[in-house]
Amino acid sequence: MAPRTCGLCSLAKAILKRPKTGQQICRECFFYVFETEVHNTIIEAGLFKQGDRVAIGASGGKDSTVLAYVMKTLNERYNYGLELFLLSIDEGITGYRDDSLETVKRNQQQYNMPLKILSYDELYGWTMDAIVAKIGKKNNCTFCGVFRRQALDRGAAMLQVDHIVTGHNADDIAETVLMNIMRGDIARLGRCTSICTQGEDTIKRSKPFKYAYEKEIVMYAYFKKLDYFSTECIYSPDAYRGHARTFLKDLEAARPSAVIDIIHSGEAFDVKEEVKATQKSQQICKRCGYMSSNELCKACTLLEGLERGIANAGVTERGMKRLEAEGPPPESLRTIPFFNKPLSQLDGRPALFVEAPS
């Protein structure tokens, strides 16, 4: 049987079948349609404007590496007029993050982008290795997720950028929809499919890969021969997200469109006004100045629990009651540096030296 020709150009030999559409296409057509779909997502959502300074959340993994490559490619091809930076968060996970950051440093040279690395140790005085040694693996992803989100905003403020883009793909978003349904988390369910989020005192954050399948990102990285780190986090096997991921993979095997279908279902959810009225309004953490729905933000609560030997204070109601019963924190308590608004809204000068590619 003769090799099948590409379903798009009808010239070259088809070498892959797109997981997203089932089309059999050649390598060059795959690159073109993948990049064009991401470009269309960016344009339709109006993510950027000329002159924006954009930080790419870079972990060294496949998603962020492909995102950095594609953002650089599209910025040059379509003249977005963006100034691109790499922003990495070092959680302090020996044998995982230290190795992946070496990949990010190589990406810095390959893509000719300035790089900023901000560590948990620098910001919170704790590494994830130390946190896991203290609390075990049961709730470690809660600490990491909360600390990482705030660290990204703080790193972006240091870089003086207008916008953060992350490598969250269609599979990630579909998993989040499923997780929020299973947990009955109405507040997050109402916003988890948004391509772009921004609080009053936080930096705009978006997901250009919202409709890009994880399998296609892997294929793009493979055929482009991109340099990325492929090991999973050593502390994540017991994460709750893993159950949603397994369920989604089973659905996708039976129906490839399930990933996008779940995202569209999430987009169609409409939270009733009376439910919205019961949700807490955003305010400013009195201790660190970051956005919060309580007097203390989640990061400050988690850090205080760690410092005072009540590690589950920000995780369980019982832990919170115990922390409150202990009375006010000592004056010597380690706290997170006060969060200032992004410098691009202030005096226009960067706060820290950012290493540029040599």
pLDDT value at residue 353: 35
Domain extent for 299: 281-336
pTM of the model: 0.89
Does residue 355 lie in a domain region? no
- In this structure, are 137 and 48 located in the same domain? yes
Q: Is the dihedral of CA 193, 194, 199, 200 positive or negative?
A: negative
DSSP string, 119-169: EHHHHHS--HHHHHHHH-SSSHHHHHHHHHHHHHHHHHHHHT-SEEE----
Does residue 183 lie in a domain region? yes
pLDDT value at residue 201: 59
pLDDT value at residue 1: 55
pLDDT value at residue 294: 87
φ/ψ region of 229 (left if φ > 0, alpha if ψ in -120 to 50, else beta) reads beta
pLDDT value at residue 321: 85
CATH of the domain at 53: 3.40.50.620
pLDDT value at residue 349: 36
Spell out, as residue ranges, where the chain has pLDDT lower than 50: 345-358
Does residue 263 lie in a domain region? yes
- In this structure, are 285 and 298 located in the same domain? yes
Chain centroid to CA 97:
15
- In this structure, are 94 and 106 located in the same domain? yes
Cβ atoms of 3 and 9 within 8 Å: the answer is no
Does residue 5 lie in a domain region? no
How many domains are contained in the chain? 2
- In this structure, are 167 and 109 located in the same domain? yes
Across the chain, how many H-helices and E-strands are there?
14, 10
Question: Cα(261)–Cα(265) distance, rounded to whole angstroms?
Answer: 6
- In this structure, are 300 and 192 located in the same domain? no
Residue positions in the annotated binding site? 57-59, 63, 89, 167, 172
Chain centroid to CA 206:
9
Does residue 44 lie in a domain region? yes
- In this structure, are 151 and 175 located in the same domain? yes
- In this structure, are 269 and 286 located in the same domain? no
CA dihedral 49, 73, 261, 5 (to 10 degrees): 140
- In this structure, are 261 and 304 located in the same domain? no
DSSP string, 234-283: TT-TT-THHHHHHHHHHHHHH-TTHHHHHHHHHHH----HHHHTTSPPPE
- In this structure, are 127 and 174 located in the same domain? yes
Residue positions in the annotated binding site for ATP? 57-59, 63, 89, 167, 172
- In this structure, are 260 and 298 located in the same domain? no
Does residue 174 lie in a domain region? yes
Does residue 305 lie in a domain region? yes
pLDDT value at residue 50: 95
